[in-house]
Amino acid sequence: MMNITGASSKILLMATRDFIHYSPSLSTISLTRFRTLTYASSSSSSDYYTDRLVSNPPDLIGWVRKEGGFVHKGLKLVDEESNGVGLVSSEDIPKGADLISLPSHLPLQFQSLESGDGDGVDSVLIQLSRQVPEELWAMKLGLKLLQERATVGSFWWPYISNLPQTYTVPIFFPGEDIKNLQYAPLLYQVNKRCRFLLDFEKDIKHALDNVKPDDHPFGGQGVDASALGWAMSAVSSRAFRLHGARLPDGAHSSIPMMLPLIDMCNHSFQPNAKIFQEEETRNSKMLVKVKAETDIRQNDPVVLNYGGLSNDFFLIDYGFVVPSNPYDTIELKYDGAFLDAASMAVGITSPNFSAPKPWQQQILSQLKLHGEASDLKVSLGGPELVEGRLLAALRVLLATDVETVEKHDLNTLKSLSVEAPLGISNEVATLRTVIALCLIALEHFPTKIMEDEALLKKSASPSTNLSLQLRIQKKSLIIDVMRNLTRRVKNLSSTATTNQD
């Protein structure tokens, strides 16, 4: 095993410390409570996953059918302890069968955002939505969800009442379980969302102080950070970005929508169903459909693929962690001094990551790892195994022959499938540097996988379980990358020895 110097570990700690600013989660903050728009933010009971917003909610399948939608007779809603409410088949369903069809008036969307300033209630809601940063788009639709939640006799009440009362996303974790994630980039995002919700609560209160009762978007009810967090989590975990209104050029706008009943389908990377959109020729309205992609057997859950997302996104937006997720990555900060330390730790003499030559700087700028337009976030894992920008940078900075580098385009240098484009010794040095990065990243976690697995067996708290699962998967990912790259180094070294013979 390679020894990693204390200096390299210290650099990693310094690099990641800038990302971490612990703040209490929404579940640990004392909030002023307002009538029915305040939600429970955490629970330790076995009902954590299955409690709906109201007990004995209306029949959602019956409502969809009543409103002109189609639901296959072989589908039913089931409360699953680990996955929440999900759609399950009550009979064998053949591949290609229509499962669900929603007419255009059933999806919940913030249409008024696309159609001007509106007036009265809509005007206030639009002004509030404009204070939401684009990256937190779920909060914009969440405002509409809260408005409908507060509206007596809302058209969407049969759907809203079936939504979960609580969500297992980290903004609702106890503070200790947020720290237990042990992963700086995710901690940063959780902290950022908590702070936004607390600040947005104040903005909303200020904006609604002088609003006339008839123009109040939430029926006169107050909205606090926990209610905002509930709404944002409901949208981020359930909304789909689908085609909206037709634009003047004939294309369709893309807007997030909540799809009643369809969003009860849970996730799988091996889905048995898929969403389609079809346009009616008579009135140009969009129909949203779900069809069986495979034969679905009796008692099988109906599952969709939410996308090739890392566990960071699955946890912070959906509230779960996918074991052995092929799209999971670990994020690092590209830093020359850090790379110098990692490279020297594995016996590479005089690396010049922190002092690249002018021709190397030029290539780094093209990779956006140098200069004003730089993006220093790089990743390991996922389909690439080593992010192409990082791989190309290491290959170039460990090269001494500019002529050899200039023979290859950036796409070649960014590809791990192109074996040793700059020579075997360069490739071995590059891969050993990445392995050192992995070791340092792994060393940064204060606990070992075996310790986490032992804690997981003892824990009964959903939030603690998720924190443990997340860090187990991150550490496993790092180990898998190391194993893969170590095999490559051995193969390259063997090839080099054979060539010498």
Query: Is the residue at 38 inside a domain?
Result: no
Query: Is the residue at 36 inside a domain?
Result: no
Among residues 293, 318, 343, which one ends one of the domains? 318
Q: Six-digit token pair at 321?
A: 């962690």
Query: Is the residue at 324 inside a domain?
Result: no
Together in a domain, 176 and 223: yes
Between CA 343 and CA 426 the distance in angstroms is 12
User: pLDDT value at position 26?
Assistant: 62
pLDDT in tens, the chain (501 residues): 333 333 333 333 333 333 333 345 565 433 332 334 544 443 333 333 457 888 889 999 999 999 999 999 999 998 866 667 889 999 999 999 999 999 989 999 986 444 445 555 678 899 999 999 999 999 999 999 999 999 999 999 999 999 999 899 999 999 999 999 999 999 999 999 999 999 999 999 999 998 888 889 999 898 999 999 999 999 999 999 876 545 444 555 578 899 999 999 999 999 999 999 887 655 556 689 999 999 999 999 999 999 999 999 999 999 999 999 999 999 999 999 889 988 888 888 777 898 999 999 999 999 999 998 899 999 999 999 999 999 999 999 999 889 999 999 999 999 999 989 999 999 999 999 999 999 999 999 999 999 999 999 998 899 999 999 999 999 999 999 999 999 999 999 887 666 654
Give yes or no for a contact between 93 and 296, defined as CB atoms under 8 angstroms apart. Answer: yes
Query: Is the residue at 458 inside a domain?
Result: yes
Coil/strand/helix, residue 108: strand
Domain total in the chain: 2
Between CA 236 and CA 66 the distance in angstroms is 27
Together in a domain, 143 and 268: yes
Among residues 277, 297, 318, which one ends one of the domains? 318
Together in a domain, 350 and 449: yes
Together in a domain, 409 and 275: no
**In a 10 Å sphere around its CB, with 0-12 CB exposed, 13-18 middle and 19+ buried, how is residue 322 labelled?**
buried
Query: Is the residue at 5 inside a domain?
Result: no
Q: 195 to each of 21, 41, 188, 276, 342, how far by Cα in Å? A: 11, 16, 11, 37, 35
Query: Is the residue at 11 inside a domain?
Result: no
> pTM here?
0.86
Together in a domain, 88 and 192: yes
**In a 10 Å sphere around its CB, with 0-12 CB exposed, 13-18 middle and 19+ buried, how is residue 459 labelled?**
middle
What CATH number has the domain bearing residue 236?
3.90.1410.10
Query: Is the residue at 7 inside a domain?
Result: no
User: pLDDT value at position 300?
Assistant: 96
Together in a domain, 288 and 435: no
Between CA 91 and CA 233 the distance in angstroms is 32
Under 8 Å CB-to-CB from 38, ≥6 apart: which residues? 31, 224, 226, 227
Together in a domain, 488 and 361: yes
Structural domain that includes position 365: 330-499
Among residues 318, 345, 360, which one ends one of the domains? 318
Together in a domain, 291 and 336: no
Together in a domain, 477 and 403: yes
What CATH number has the domain bearing residue 357?
3.90.1420.10
Together in a domain, 289 and 198: yes
Q: Each residue of 185-228: pLDDT tens digit?
A: 999 999 999 999 999 999 999 999 988 888 899 998 989 999 99
HEC sequence for 353-421: CCCCCHHHHHHHHHCCCCCCCCCCEEEEECCCEECHHHHHHHHHHCCCCHHHHHCCCHHHHCCCCCCCC
Q: 355 to each of 15, 275, 370, how far by Cα in Å? A: 18, 51, 11
Give yes or no for a contact between 398 and 390, defined as CB atoms under 8 angstroms apart. Answer: no
Amino acid at 258: M
Amino acid at 38: T
Together in a domain, 314 and 349: no
User: pLDDT value at position 122?
Assistant: 77
User: pLDDT value at position 29?
Assistant: 38
Together in a domain, 204 and 306: yes
Query: Is the residue at 33 inside a domain?
Result: no
